[in-house]
Amino acid sequence: MHKYSLTLLLLALAFCIGCGGNLGKVSGTVSLDGEPVEGALVTFEPQAGGRMSYGRTDTSGNYTLVYTNEEDGAEIGKHRVIIEGKADGDPDQGIVNRAEYIPAEYNSQSTLTAEVSGGKQTHDFKLESGGEVVQEVGE
């Protein structure tokens, strides 16, 4: 029984070590019309299926993707990228709902993609309100 338990423990340990082995550490910036986008939600959705990764931009438009509470990164492979930003309404006029200010082709109808590889990498998104995007990828 002892030998069998040790084998199971080693198999479980090997499985857990491999859990995060297929991740790339992804960070970058998001700008809209040349200005950093603060508070945007950046989502990488694996096209082959799997767990999505998320990041929120800071005041400079920088984000880092989170895979789980314990791990940063995104699964290796091609991803659909969704970038959502909401602006507060004008409370003086009684508008309290939040309106999406990033064009639909970057969020609800996103055509953005990114290829995630192993290791650290940068995926910058330079969005244009006219619907054009320049994606810069660096190592």
- pLDDT digit string, tens, across residues 111-125: 999 999 999 999 999
- Tell me if 12 is assigned to some domain: no
Could you tell me which residues come within 8 angstroms of residue 55 by beta carbon, excluding any fewer than 6 positions away? 26, 27, 41, 42, 63, 64, 65, 66
CATH number at residue 39: 2.60.40.10
- Tell me if 17 is assigned to some domain: no
Average pLDDT estimate for 75-85? 96
Q: Which SS3 state, helix, strand or coil, does residue 90 take?
A: coil
Residue where the block lists tokens 């650290």? 120
- Tell me if 10 is assigned to some domain: no
| Bigger pLDDT: 86 vs 19 | 86
- Tell me if 4 is assigned to some domain: no
- pLDDT digit string, tens, across residues 27-44: 999 999 999 999 999 999
Q: What is the mean pLDDT of the chain?
A: 80
pTM equals 0.74
Q: What is the span of the domain harbouring residue 79?
A: 22-138
**What is the total count of domains within the chain?**
1
**CB-based contact 46:52 (threshold 8 Å):** yes
- Tell me if 102 is assigned to some domain: yes
Q: Residue 41, Cβ neighbours under 10 Å: how many?
A: 17
- Tell me if 86 is assigned to some domain: yes
